[in-house]
Structure 1
Amino acid sequence: MGIVLGPNRYGKAEVRLVRVARDDAVHHRITDLNVSIALSGDLAATHLSGDNSAVLPTDTMRGIVYSFARDRPVGEIEEFALRLARHFPAAYEPVHTARVRIQAYPWDRIDAAEGPHPHAWSRGAGTRYAGAVCGPDGTQVVSGIEDVTVLKSTGSEFHGFLQDRYTTLQPTSDRVLATSVQARWRHTGTEADWADSYAQARATLLRAFAGTHSLALQQTLYAMGEAVLAEQDGLAEVRLALPNKHHFLVDLAPYGQDNPGEVYYAADRPYGLIEGTVLRDDAPAALPELPW
């Protein structure tokens, strides 16, 4: 029985980049990114014999991120991910495939007496995501959101589930439903109005969460993904991960009080984790290296 090297990649993870666009001395725009790059290709020698002649130092990757940000405005993060992903296979022969992940942290302008402050911000909610892969099998892009916490104080049920001697959860026809949305959607092409597509998908996901009378978080997940695909023909699939942020009614009987669905304990762990994919049945398959 032989021993061989399997699939491998390497890169620079979590390059922190803040880009300030100075429209003038006072009015600025800010982009706050976390960029990760992974390369694969003809790299067996470095693993098997320590020959680094085909290895691009990860520090060079870090420098490329910063240099590309200086070259011209970052733009939409999907555009920046594509610029980076296309660069590495084109510039370095041993690299066959480049995979780029970008998280963008939102900053909201602080309200001042005269309106939104031109160069002061507070950290916003949620994180925008983009990923791109470029290799011999083609180029693909995914967008997404994460850490967007949502809650419904009613309009959610959970009953009719399997029960045995280990089951202590009681069926309910009215519960608090809360989750932190992580969603990714794959584009069918590499050109789009990225900002508009993102804004529309984000709004659709939240609208579907709010508007679906939920009999299970799985049902809500499907409704959210289905709504995004129904509204955007340029998307092939939506992948969602929804942790169930449980809210349990507090027993106030020891204090001589009732609790008609008003006082809850918000538990952070353990939690149910619901994951699923909603896709067009005629959509081309995702590339294996696509950074979901």
Structure 2
Amino acid sequence: MAIVLGDNRYGKAENRLVRVDRDGDEHRITDLTVSVSLSGDLSDTHLTGANDKVLATDTQKNTVFAFARDGIGEIEDFGLRLARHFVGTQKSIRTARVRLEEHPWQRLTVGGKPAHHSFARAGTSTRTASVTYDGAQAWVIGGVQDLTVLNSTGSEFWGFPRDHYTTLAETKDRVLATTVSATWRFSGTEVGWAAAHGTALAALLDAFGGTHSLSLQQSLYAMGQRVLEEVPEICEVRLSLPNKHHFLVDLAPFGVDNPGEVFHAADRPYGLIEGTVLRDDAPPAGPAWS
């Protein structure tokens, strides 16, 4: 039996990058976490320890910061620039992946007017992107994470199998809450990234709020379907939806009723619903999801 080296990659993870655009009196903040991952002709460093084909992860970090000096723009475009650079300048590197998270800030209001250079962390979710380039083709994945949503009614769960271990009661009215992690694959790289992200995010929220849900799985499909309907450049959506359970608290021992008003919000364990919604003519994903 032979032992061989399988798939491998390496890179510099979670580079924290903040750029302040100072054009004019009103400054702008771009706050990113950027992770680089490279793969290619790297067998020697694993098998013999030779490093002549290994671009140091410190160099990768420095490249991220140096490229930011020329401006960042949309995070997808910044990722494409970096990925193409690593493959185009390093003979041993065949595929580069750049993952990005954008952390939003909002301008403060001082004295009733928008401040020129004062900000507070904003938003309840994080915009994400992942760019993969193999020297010939690029794949772009956008997304959002930590998007917490809740329907206080309009959700049911009943008709499920019951066995010796089932204790859960059926319900025709429950609180449905989840923290959405969604990623979507674009069919090309010539996209208005900001507009696509905004439309996809609005589609997720609209579908979640507008679906009378008989299961979180039904909501997942409705959310993915709506994104594909609203953004033609997106060909595939992957969703991970933890069911953030809200259990009605029994107040009867205290002589108090509870007409669906007081809940215990449990953080774990939780149901985890995951799924993919895609066009039936979606182009191959290549290494985009790997």
Answer yes or no: same fold by TM over 0.5: yes
Q: CA deviation at 1:120?
A: 1.4
Amino acid at match of 2:148: T
Matching residue of 2:71? 73
**Secondary structure of 1:128's match?**
strand
The corresponding residue for 2:11 is: 11
Give the SS at the match of 1:12: coil
Separation in 1, partners of 2:289, 2:76: 12
Quote the offset at 1:291 in angstroms.
Answer: 5.0
Moved beyond 2 Å, runs of 4+: 111-116
Aligned pairs, number: 289
How far the C-alpha of 1:111 sits from its partner, in A, is 2.4
Q: Equivalent residue for 2:56?
A: 57
CA distance, structure 2, for counterparts of residue 112 and residue 223 of structure 1: 42
Amino acid at match of 1:116: P
1:1-292 superposed matches below 5 A: 1-24=1-24, 26-70=25-69, 72-124=70-122, 125-136=124-135, 138-288=137-287, 290=288
Query: Retained in 1: the 8 A contact 2:128–2:143?
Result: yes
Structure-1 separation of matches of 2:136 and 2:74 = 24
Q: CA RMSD in A?
A: 1.1
In 2 relative to 1, CA 145–33 (structure 1 residues): closer, same or farther, beyond 3 Å?
A: same
Give TM-score scaled by structure 2 length. Answer: 0.98
Normalization by structure 1: what TM-score? 0.97
Q: Secondary structure at the match of 1:144?
A: strand
* Identity percentage of aligned residues: 60
Secondary structure, aligned partner of 1:10: coil
- Which deviations, in whole Å up to 9, do the C-alpha atoms of 1:225-248 show, x marking residues without a partner? 000101111111010001100000
How many angstroms apart in 1 are the aligned matches of 2:39 and 2:258? Answer: 58
Q: How far 1:78 sits from its partner (Å)?
A: 0.5
Asked if the contact 1:131/1:291 (under 8 Å) is kept, the reply is: no
Q: Per-residue displacement from partner, 1:201-255 (whole Å, max 9, x unpaired)?
A: 0011001000000000000000000001011111110100011000000000010
Deviation at 1:121, TM superposition (A): 1.5
